[in-house]
Amino acid sequence: MLINDPDIIKESQVKEDEKRGIVEILVHDVQSLKTVAQRLNAIGFDHCVSVTGIDLKGKIAVIWHLSSYSKNELKGKVIQLRIDMELNVQIDTAMPKNFRAPMVSVPSLVNIWESALFHEREAHEMFGIDFQGHPDLRPILLSDDFYGKWPMRKDFTFDKSDIKIE
Amino acid sequence: MILKLNEGVFNIEDVANLELSGDRQIELQIGPSHPGSGHMRIKVTLDGDIITRVDPDIGFVHRTSEWLSERREFIKAIPIVERIMLPDTVHANLSYILALEKILDIEPPPRAQYLRSLAAEINRITSHLYGIGIFGIFLGSSTVYMWAFGDREPFIDLMEALTGARITNSYIVPGGVRWEMPKGFKEKAESTLQYMEKRLNDYNDIWAKNPVVEARTINVGVISSLDAIKLGIVGPNLRASGVDFDTRKDSPYAAYSQLDFEIPKMENGDSYDRLLIRIEEIKQSMRIIRQILKDIPDGKIIADGIYSQLNPVMKKVYEQNQRAMFPAFFLNMRPPSGESTARVEAGRGEIFFYLNTDGNKYPNRFRWVTPSFRNLPFFTKVAVGHRLADLPTIYGSIDYFPPEADR
């Protein structure tokens, strides 16, 4: 077992699949997310490889992939810290129609892993994940007029009436 | 107050007022039209000519590779990921296939593993030569640019002999590779390597030991090993700071666990070290290619599970031309539900792949992170405090490739 820290096991559900390169730590709730993240950082997972979401239809799974450069025994490993969130941010009706898709709200882990900065920005614009405490959630890959459409969700359809064929 | 040079009209009194108030910050926008090797904008805030803040604005060449791949059959993602990383296609292809093979539970035969490593190492040399050439342009040395792009050509010819295509090879498929090594390839490869060895001495003379290059790169863009770890830097840039990490050694794939090679490492982490380490890595790649050509085992180039699905005509083609055609299984593939990760050391650094399937024809989640995207903190953290004239040096030395970062 790669993860045998009692604090982490208490707060989460650990699944390991050596052959497929998966070590998953599924955190139960938002309160334990930061505790587990701090614990993982203390164990030696010192940088963030990727932050992404998965659309679970009504829920969004937020996944941080973490790895280590400094600990020899952890070097070849990637673990995924995962939390499944309901779409919980209220829709602001004052906003334009495109911006009304509900978001999920999770704490940002940039304070713990600075390398997650750009990855969380990308996950925010693609999935509508509101990272609480992130210093800079401007769109990074998409243009400004795409903001709020959350294109990587399964229900995303693009508006073909905008496309002009001359 | 920050004076924005590119936005709106300002008059000379504004500048004078800024001088009086002691606040002389000016925002300068570099790009988005091709500051170097692709389209990106760097918003630089300057105090005099000292950089106080850098805001890289990327996404101008975002090609939605993840979105497209999630709406296609699994096999059709190969050309998409290849076109994102044009100087480094084999690694993009390989990383995706490794993730897919873990879900399909296919193990390629040893000969295919060696051929994968061979293609990957030839590709690493072309990628590094590309990076060296672009760095040359940034430092105003068009000679090195011409040399590097010219010397890239023999290696691209090697790839053409091996795979049938110069750049977008689509060489690696689930279960193996598509083409057998052609007749006379070993001799051709050996003569190319001998040529490159001779050329590397020339590169040392005109480029690495050049006093102008040394003056412009030594102690410019220094990143300590602690900072490199904290910011999650990858690839040669990480190793130039003295961090010992290479996916080929630390989590081996293809044939790397059977090959004998060293991971070059530098100490200072400045632009000059990042320049030298690429030349050292070319030497190591040539060493690996020689080993592969000597030790490559005989056998099939695709796994038995794939071979048995070929129809009689395809089997005949395989026996006669040593070429693995696509069985119908590739297009109708419905991998079992599950998830997998794969990591590959590409020329610019580590590619990370995360694949999530739910038993359907299309991937449920197709996530990949390219090395250039992870090297972005170089702009926001490392360039600050340098003079504006040093920004091209830092940009060139990290071998940043915008289409790859934008995906």
Query: pLDDT per residue over A8-25, tens digit each?
Result: 777 778 888 878 878 888
Tokens of A4: 């045998």
Chain A positions touching B230 (Cβ under 8 A) are: 46-47, 114-115
The DSSP H or E segment spanning A26 is: strand A22-27
Q: Which residues does chain A have within 8 Å of residue B356's beta carbon, measured at their own beta carbons?
A: 54
Residue type, A100: R
Considering only CB atoms, B341 lies closest to which of A22, A140, A142, namely: A22
Give the gap in angstroms from C-alpha B116 to the nearest C-alpha of chain A.
Answer: 20
Over range A27-40, report the average pLDDT.
86
Residue B51 lies in a domain: no
Q: Cα-atom radius of gyration of chain B, to the nearest Å? A: 23
User: What are B331-338's contacts with CB under 8 Å, separation 24+?
Assistant: B331/B73, B331/B75, B332/B361, B333/B73, B333/B74, B333/B75, B333/B104, B333/B174, B333/B361, B334/B359, B334/B360, B334/B361, B335/B74, B335/B100, B335/B103, B335/B104, B335/B359, B336/B103, B337/B364, B338/A17, B338/A20, B338/B103
Of A65, A70, A142, the CB nearest to B62: A142
Q: Does residue A45 lie within any of the structural domains?
A: yes
Residue A132 sits at φ, ψ, to 5 deg, of -70, 125
* Amino acid B180: pLDDT: 87
Contact B354, A52 (CB under 8 A): yes
CATH code, domain with B197: 1.10.645.10
Cα–Cα distance between B46 and B59 in angstroms, integer?
23
- Domain span holding position B402: 75-376+384-406
Question: Domain for residue B278, yes or no?
Answer: yes
pLDDT of residue B366: 92
- Look up the CATH number of the domain holding residue A66: 3.30.460.80
pLDDT value, residue A96:
56
Q: Average pLDDT of B54-72?
A: 89
Assign B242 to helix, strand or coil.
coil
Would you say residue B251 lies in a domain? yes
| pLDDT tens sequence across A132-165 | 888 888 888 888 877 777 888 888 877 676 677 6
Structure confidence at residue B11 (pLDDT):
58
Please list every residue in chain A whose beta carbon sits closer than 8 Å to the beta carbon of residue B229. Answer: 46-47, 69-70
Q: What percent of chain B has pLDDT over 70?
A: 93
Does residue A88 form part of some domain?
A: yes
Cα separation of A119 and A140, whole Å? 10
The pLDDT tens digits of the residues spanning B237-281 come to 999 998 888 888 888 888 898 888 888 988 888 899 998 999 999
Asked if pLDDT for residue B126 goes beyond 90, the answer is yes
Interatomic CA distance for residues B377 and B394, integer angstroms: 12
- Structural domain includes residue A166: no
pLDDT grade, residue B1 (50/70/90)?
very low
Among B308, B313, B355, B317, smallest CA distance to B336 is for B355
Domain that holds residue A79: 6-155
Query: pLDDT for B307-352, tens place per residue?
Result: 888 888 888 888 888 888 888 888 888 889 989 999 999 989 999 9
Q: Do residue B342 and residue A21 have CB atoms under 8 angstroms apart?
A: yes
Question: If pLDDT is split at 50, 70 and 90, which confidence band does B153 have?
Answer: very high
Q: How many domains would you assign to chain A?
A: 1
User: By the CB < 8 Å criterion, does A121 face chain B?
Assistant: no
Q: Based on the structure, what is the number of domains in chain B? A: 1
Inside any domain, residue B332: yes
pLDDT band at B125 (very low <50, low <70, confident <90, very high): very high
Query: Cα(A65)–Cα(A67) distance, rounded to whole angstroms?
Result: 7
Contact B352 A78 (CB under 8 A): yes
CA distance A20 to chain B (A): 5
Q: Please check whether residue B38 lies inside any domain of the structure.
A: no
Lowest mean pLDDT among A19-23, A161-165, B98-102, B383-387: A161-165
Residues of B with CB under 8 A from a CB of A: 58-59, 62, 64, 66-67, 70, 102-103, 105, 228-232, 238, 243, 245, 247, 250-251, 338-343, 350, 352, 354, 356, 364-365, 367, 369, 373-374, 376-377, 406-407
Residue B107 token pair: 């193990």
B150: in domain:
yes
Closest in A20, A63, A69 to B243, CB measured: A69
Nearest to A118 among B350, B352, B373 (CB): B373
Q: What is the mean pLDDT of residues B378-389?
A: 86
A164 lies in a domain? no
